[in-house]
Amino acid sequence: MAVTRVSRSFKDISLSFEPHPVTKDLPVLTNRNAIIRSVRNLVETIRTERFFQSNLGSDVRDSLFEIMDYATATILREQILEVITNYEPRVENIDVEVEPNIDENNFEVTIIFDIIGQEIPTQSFTFILEATR
């Protein structure tokens, strides 16, 4: 019998570490925002960057210095899909769209996903990946 994962709420600490002006508590990201921040961190983390978790991350940064075309966009798509599938257990039905923007020398990435255990519509967010030296 398959095990079904049930969740009600997700909370992560914001990486800004700026305390709330009144309560002095660290800000908390919940549900959708927590997952978006986690996915973005996974995509932008370079393999071997985290101690004791050398496999965590992706090779996206290396691919950004390749020729900007649809072949590179396909490679980026596969790398992003792999890292989310392997390291973000709170999402399912993941789809990744990567469009090269040759004029501005970047890739527009759209990630579409369902949050496990929550009865909300399919979520998506878009961000830009660009090579920085």
Domains contained in the chain, number = 1
pLDDT tens figures, 80-110: 999 999 998 888 999 999 999 988 889 999 9
User: Does residue 40 contact residue 127 with C-beta atoms inside 8 Å?
Assistant: yes
CATH number for 83:
3.10.450.40
Residue of higher predicted confidence among 8 and 62: 62
User: Does residue 79 contact residue 58 with C-beta atoms inside 8 Å?
Assistant: yes
Confidence of residue 56 (pLDDT cuts 50, 70, 90): confident
Evaluate whether residue 6 is within a structural domain. no
Neighbours of 13 (CB within 10 A): 13
Evaluate whether residue 2 is within a structural domain. no
What six digits make up the tokens of 4?
């079904």
Average pLDDT, whole number, for the chain? 84
What span, in angstroms and rounded, lies between the C-alpha atoms of 39 and 129? 13
Provide the domain limits for residue 91.
11-130
pLDDT tens figures, 107-121: 999 999 998 887 888
Question: What pLDDT score does 110 carry?
Answer: 96
Evaluate whether residue 123 is within a structural domain. yes
Evaluate whether residue 3 is within a structural domain. no
Residue 120: strand pairing partners: none
User: Does residue 95 contact residue 54 with C-beta atoms inside 8 Å?
Assistant: no
Question: What pLDDT score does 77 carry?
Answer: 95
Place of tokens 């590179």: 72
Evaluate whether residue 87 is within a structural domain. yes
Residue of higher predicted confidence among 6 and 110: 110
Which of 27-31, 43-47, 50-54 tops mean pLDDT? 43-47
The reported pTM is 0.78
At residue 101, what are phi and psi to the nearest 5 degrees? -115, 90
Evaluate whether residue 4 is within a structural domain. no
Evaluate whether residue 67 is within a structural domain. yes
